Amino acid sequence: MSAPTITAIEPVSGPTAGGDLVRLVGTGFADALAVRFGNAPARVHGVRTEATLTVAEVYTPAHAAGAVDVTLTNLDVAGAPVPGEEATARAAYRFERPDLVHESELTRLVRTLLQTLKRDLLEATSLSVSVDYDDTTVDGASVIALAKLPALVLSGPRVPENRFFSTNVAHEAPAPGPAGTELARRRPSLTVDLAFTLTAASDRTAELLNLMTAVATVLHRACWLEMPRDPGDPAQGTVRWEMDRAGEIRTRLDGPDDVRVFSCDFVIRGFDLDEGLTRTRSRAVDHVALATEARPQHSDPAPGAVRKDSK
């Protein structure tokens, strides 16, 4: 068999944790082969031929960040490397750490939530992971600076998994391939709830009680949190999540330094924290029919079923 050649690699980057599905396209691939990213072996998912090209799909190993060579070696029936049948693509794949610079969907959601609270409740609303309203500066401990009272502080989120809104089947979507349109199947998303605590403070009891009423009213009436699906493309519309109160309002009217405080919890449900990596790619297909496509309006009912429009 002739020596293999690698003509394309897709995608060309992925997470350092590994597990990404990478496609090697070329010629001369054997039915059994080994693939290495740098010195780390990849798990081969499958090899197939499409038109005049051979496609190998592999799952990347865990690796330190940086560009690595991708080496493909043909194996014989005993699983041993075939001498001279090896191809290497230099610095063809890059392992990358999570991007902490560009704004994530979670960051956009929290920023939208803050803007909503500022608009509907109080301008003096901030975000914190720890709230302590001890303003005694003599001991130098537990000091928090408040520009003015009354004030609201949003803390969280906590992220428990939500199995009710999550999907249990792979997501299918059309994707371009070397021989035409294919179906890409992603593993189910990691769907979570975002649990927040809202803490309010005032140095006047009547003002705090009024603020308590306002917070309860807003959380009771605001059933959804909505934001643009893509801030750079308004034509894509908006996306929204269900928002519910959780538990009771907890008051503390005898706080230190004559500061009155109450707190309450609310939950934003069904947020996809991770969309899931691509798990499989199909062969090229002439017609893409997704499992989520609706049945025809006048399709035959299941055996034993009765149409709603039947007499």
| pLDDT tens-place string over residues 234-251 | 899 999 999 999 989 988
Distances (CA, A) of 62 to 40, 59, 69, 175, 243: 8, 10, 14, 26, 37
> pLDDT digit string (tens) for 47-80?
988 778 888 999 999 999 999 999 999 999 888 9
Dist CA 233 CA 237 (whole Å): 8
**Residue 221 host element (H or E):** helix 205-221
Higher pLDDT, 150 or 146: 150
| Angle, CA 129 vertex, CA 124 and CA 134 arms, to 5° | 70
Q: What pLDDT, on a 0 to 100 scale, did the predictor assign at position 90? A: 95
pLDDT in tens, 246-267: 989 988 766 556 788 899 999 9
Q: 304 phi and psi, to 5 degrees?
A: 90, -10
Residue 131 pLDDT greater than 60, yes or no? no
Is residue 16 located within the same domain as residue 109? no
In-domain check, residue 167: yes
Average pLDDT, the chain: 80
85 and 116 part of one domain = no
> Residues near 244 by Cβ (< 8 Å), separated by ≥ 6?
223, 266, 267, 269
What is the end-to-end Cα distance of the chain in Å, rounded? 69
Shared domain for 167 and 241, answered yes or no, is yes
290 inside domain: no
**pLDDT tens-place string over residues 161-199:** 888 877 776 666 676 666 566 666 777 778 899 999 999
Distance CA 309, CA 301 (A): 12
Tell me the CATH number at 13. Answer: 2.60.40.10
Q: For residues 119 and 298, give the distance between their C-alpha atoms in angstroms, rounded to a whole number.
A: 48
Q: Interior CA angle at 225 toward 219 and 228, to 5°?
A: 160
Instruction: Check whether 140 has a pLDDT greater than 50.
Output: no
Nearest CA to 87 among 30, 161, 40? 30
79 lies in which domain range? 5-96
81-116 residue pLDDT tens: 999 999 999 999 999 998 887 788 899 999 999 999
Tally of domains in the chain? 2
Q: Is residue 171 part of a domain?
A: yes
Judgement on whether residues 176 and 74 belong to the same structural domain of the protein: no
